[in-house]
Amino acid sequence: MASTIPKAVLYYAPNSIWSAAVLLTLEEKGYGADEIDRKQVDLVNGANFDPTFLRLNPKATLPTLVVPMQNTLADGVNSRYKALTETEAIIDFLDKSRSATSRTRTTSHAPAPALRPATIAFNTKTKTIIDALHSEGGNPNHLAYVNARNEAALQMLTVEKLPVLTRKHKALDQYISDADNDKLQVSLKTKDFWQRKKEAVAVLLAVIENGQKADAKLTGEALRQREQFYAEARKSWEVSLKEVVVKVNSEVIGPFSLGDQLSIADLHLASWLARLVKLSGGVYGDEGDKAIGKLETHIGGDFRLVKDFEVEEAQGKAVKQSKLAAFWDATQGRESWKQVYRQGLY
């Protein structure tokens, strides 16, 4: 008899960094395309702020995994699902939900491995790495919006981000207007949430709308806003991110986070590093030394990671790389990486 329990639903966006981490997990664990429904959320047009989505995830973030529940309902409880809204919780759930004896259908024909480490020491290291990747200092979404520390870079950023910010601001403005005119029935908490998000977008828009103007052409408030933007960009890339990159590189054992076998931390690290390399001018086909070299250069100054991980080249010669470069090379060879990033880094 067929089960009447619905499938889990993954809400994601194609260019969302943490959605990529979950997609990598689905590939590594061997989930079939028919096992989990996937629904794209239009971040550019603010669909994540729609009241319907906010009922699933009040933070309006992606990814979100809605998991059907069975035999867990109390009297008077109408909800038959649980929404997981944190990337780490989603990946842990997907790891545990597919047993070690399940056969994969995507990346291999071998049993799907358990990705969460078994030892206390390795669990501690995993937590340290994941916490660093999700820290404010390493936030790749923030870095994407402050990826300009000079006039030329700001002009390029404006071309990319002005349409996105304009549409997001318009969407939030429409939600607020509809609520004010009783076209949408939402709580004051939701309206306040929309307003805070709109104000945050407006701060960036104030800079980006003038992004094609030369520094020398700005005066008054517009000049002050740009100077603040440059200061934040320098701090974010040259100080905060630098510290996180050094910490993560030191924690990784190599070539993967915990050594020779892929583990749960690597799914976070792969998507995080892919975004940073892209923001630094890297592309899908870059080898590890080149990709990480671009990131080091983009961080600025004479920043270079220590090269203390020994790898053997095809000719049998031993060379040393940074651990993140070795990780990049090891990850690029996996089918999960090829499936998720085959159309380019994001």
- pLDDT, one tens digit per residue, over 162-188 is 999 999 999 999 999 999 999 999 999
pLDDT at 32: 83
Q: Is the pLDDT of residue 1 over 50?
A: no
- pLDDT, one tens digit per residue, over 263-307 is 999 999 999 999 999 999 999 999 999 999 999 999 999 999 999
pLDDT at 255: 97
- pLDDT, one tens digit per residue, over 229-272 is 999 999 999 999 999 999 999 999 999 999 999 999 999 999 99
- pLDDT, one tens digit per residue, over 306-346 is 999 999 876 678 899 999 999 999 999 999 999 999 999 99
**Residue 20's pLDDT band (cuts 50, 70, 90):** very high
C-alpha separations of 283 from 95, 142, 280, 332, 342 in Å: 29, 20, 9, 12, 11
- pLDDT, one tens digit per residue, over 107-149 is 434 457 899 999 999 999 999 999 999 999 999 999 999 999 9
Least confident of 61-70, 213-222, 245-254: 61-70
**Above pLDDT 70, what percent of the chain?**
91
CA distance 138 to 135: 5
